[in-house]
Structure 1
Amino acid sequence: MKVALLSDCYLPRLGGIEVQTHDLARELVALGHEVEVFTATPGAGGEMHGEVTVVDGIPVHRLALRLPGQLPINPLAPPELRRRLVGGRFDIAHVQTGVVSPFAWDATRVTLRLGLPTAMTWHCMLANLAPVFDAGRFVRRWASRGVAMSAVSDVAAEPLRGLVSPGSAVSVLPNGIDVSRWAVGSAPRPPGPLRLVTAMRLAKRKRPAALVDVVARAESIAGQGTITLTILGEGPERARVERHVREHDLGWVRLPGRVSREELRERYAASDVYLSPARLESFGIAALEARTVGLPVIGRSGSGVGEFVRDGVNGFVVSSDSEMASAIASLATDPARVAEMRAWNVAHRPEQDWSQVARMAVREYERAISLVRS
């Protein structure tokens, strides 16, 4: 099968959609499929205006414009995209979309006009924006015209199910990870504070500053010196978080910045518990990776974390910041419970391995092809 992966964002930008699309491309090739990527993101050397770069053996069509901040936007792309899709004789188009994805949505209009079978995966939580999408009705139109809709988790899929017609299905196509790469196991907890860790883009919607307050509340419950927190990542909220840490003299908070995947795995293995404070987390790739290492995960209800965390078994799924603080404090004073949860995670590998997820994607492609034929 020849697959066109279409995404506003792609490497060298770093983020959930970018990394997942890249990894999916490699896994599809490993299964014997031919893959090309189409994106509005410039290349590492500034390639744009349709230049093709090769990333890990995958041709990437850089349909990007020169814009401030290298924004992945190109309203002029559709004619050239159409020409390349026709010339490439693709069997399937797989669109990756978020809440606002102008390139991906333009690409969907192009593929529908071509009659090219199209699968669309939503990597976002529509939440309160669902009525806006419902009023626009374009999601319903696309589904009625044969676009095979999916989302990365059941909680992300649920709002979409209310936007499509009753006869249209919305599948769950989860994000994938290389489980064998992350299943290294975490070391037994040494004496001392509970070592908390999180990895995120330091942006408001990820709630890094709120997380610091939550952990401070947990420490006040468990006792001084019982907890440390490491926040990995970069973003616009970094300065605010650093200022908050200084002003409140929170010496147990560390912000090492962004690290490689290899160092991330090592830091997880040297930690005790992973925290996922975002309310609108459609999946939680970093949390899944930490859970695969062995860490108990504490995340929010109504987020994608519930796809791989069983409350009270291998972590906690909480409904508020105060509940998160209480859960952290309980583990800080109960090392045996931490060890029990860690052992469960090590013994039970998650289902979201790429070997399974790539095959699920192929089944979505087969569904899209059957929808077009019908």
Structure 2
Amino acid sequence: MLTPVKVALLSDCYLPRLGGIEVQVHDLARNLQKAGHEVVAFTATREPGQRRNELEIIDGIPVHRLAIPMPHGLPINPLAPPTLRRLLRAGGFDVAHVHMGVVAPFSMDCARVALDLDLPTAVTWHSLHARMEGPIRLVGYVARWAKSGAALSAVSGVAAQSVSSLAGVQHKVAILPNGIDTTQWAPLPRPPRGAGEPMRVVSAMRLMGRKRPLELLDIVHEARRQAPEADIRLEVLGEGPLRPKVDARAAELGGDEWFTAPGRMTRTQVQERYRLSDIYIAPAELEAFGIAALEARTTGLPVVAPRKSGVSEFIEHRVNGMLTGDDAGMADALARLATDHSLRVAMTAHNTEVLPRESWPSVVRMVETEYVRAIDQLR
């Protein structure tokens, strides 16, 4: 058990932007605070109308917004390091925890500044490097941070492999999963399933290429061909730049009969859609973790996903979902689950009765262990 410490959480993205890293970092801040730690967040994400560096309080968490106006509200501020250095030096922090995406210029500056100040530093990657791994290796900052004593981690084993390759195998890369509020996402009573009702498949994603919404339509179309008696229906929750192409592809496939996309939804609305669904599908291959899939699994839904994605951290094949090697395998798995009542019911029962190990109290203990490692590595 780590004695209470003062933590600087540093991330390009933070509320009010809504996305995986933004929400995770804020939820981590609140749960660290609940565990007795003092937490201050730093971000380059602007509030609407913000014109200069600002300090605000969100849910009891002080948030320094070291932001400047940028096109499309991009969280980039090359002028932030001097102010950040002053705030970290004067803040009496025991540890800095930097949260990285694939391209995260503010977070990169944060790691460099914190290490230059000899502040114990933990760095967690929330994304897969994929095609960026070569350029990142060439620049060499991951290896430099490791040599400087940073405690490196990633949100899944899949993501950790890439970080380890960049840092050097002699440096430990811990797995620090995203956390979930198991009470907030607890299973809700499901309506009884009547004979002949369609099989409701749901997915929540931003409609962008990396999430593979177009491929998802093809997968479900093939599953419907394999199991016409199941009358598989697909609902995709979320918005994004590929919306016109998604609508066009759905029309090509006759999706008017089986596809709906109601757009962005609140957390409460998402929970209600999960309650009315039978299966969750997560088609993204470059998924470092997959928090939406974990939320769906926690509510009780069986999950279909690629074996190579971070979803494999919390889905065990044929126990609480199906993991597959390719899109054809996903279509096969979806058709199988849609028609195998006993298998589907067993998976739903498992997910309803067995809590995921990524509950926030458990994740906070893992985070505290990383903070101890960061402190020890700079002694």
Q: Is TM (by shorter chain) over 0.5?
A: yes
Contact 1:144 1:165 in 2 (8 A): no
- SS of 1:179's equivalent? coil
* 1:23-102 matches, cutoff 5 A: 23-43=27-47, 45-102=48-105
Q: Does residue 1:10 correspond to 2:14, yes or no?
A: yes
- Cα separation, 2, equivalents of 1:125 and 1:190: 42
Q: Distance in 2 between matches of 1:150 and 1:226?
A: 43
**Residue among 349, 354, 379 paired with 1:348:** 354
Shift of 1:253: 0.4
**Structure 1 residue 299 and structure 2 residue 305: aligned?**
yes
Structure 1 counterpart of 2:315, from 297, 309, 318:
309
Number of aligned residue pairs: give it.
Answer: 372
Deviates more, 1:110-119 or 1:329-338: 329-338
Alignment of 1:30-179 (within 5 A): 30-43=34-47, 45-179=48-182
Give the 5 Å matches for 1:252-291.
Answer: 252-291=258-297
Q: How far does residue 165 in structure 1 lie from its aligned partner after superposition?
A: 3.3
Aligned partner of 2:255 among 232, 250, 255: 250
Kept in 2: contact 1:186–1:271 (CA 8 A): no
Contact 2:303 2:315 in 1 (8 A): yes
What is the rounded CA distance, in whole Å, between the counterparts of 2:21 and 2:51 in structure 1? 20
Distance 1:328 1:346 in 2: 20
Q: State the percentage of identical aligned residues.
A: 52
Q: Secondary structure at the match of 1:236?
A: coil
Unaligned runs of 5+ in 2: none
Secondary structure, in 3 states, of the residue corresponding to 2:64?
strand
Instruction: Give CA deviations for 1:80-126 in whole Å, capped at 9, x if unaligned.
Output: 01111111111110000011000000111111111111000000112
Q: Given the superposition, is the C-alpha separation of residues 86 and 214 from structure 1 closer, same or farther in structure 2, using an over 3 Å criterion? A: same
Mean CA deviation greater in 122-131 or 190-199: 122-131
TM-score, scaled relative to structure 1: 0.97
| Superposition CA RMSD, Å | 1.3
In the other structure, the counterpart of 1:232 is 237
Instruction: State how far apart, in whole Å, the 2-side matches of 1:60 and 1:48 are.
Output: 15
1:97–1:123 CA contact under 8 A, matched in 2: yes
Asked whether the equivalents of residues 316 and 322 of structure 2 are also in contact (C-alpha less than 8 Å), the reply is yes
Distance 1:157 1:48, change over 3 A: farther
* Residues in 1 aligned to 2:358 and 2:316: alpha-carbon distance in whole angstroms: 15
Moved over 4 A (4+): none
Structure 1 SS opposite 2:98: strand
Query: Contact 2:7 / 2:94 at 8 angstroms: preserved in 1?
Result: yes
Which ranges in structure 1 are unaligned for 5 or more consecutive residues?
A: none
The aligned residue for residue 336 of structure 2 is 330
Tell me the distance in 1 between the aligned counterparts of 2:180 and 2:87.
30
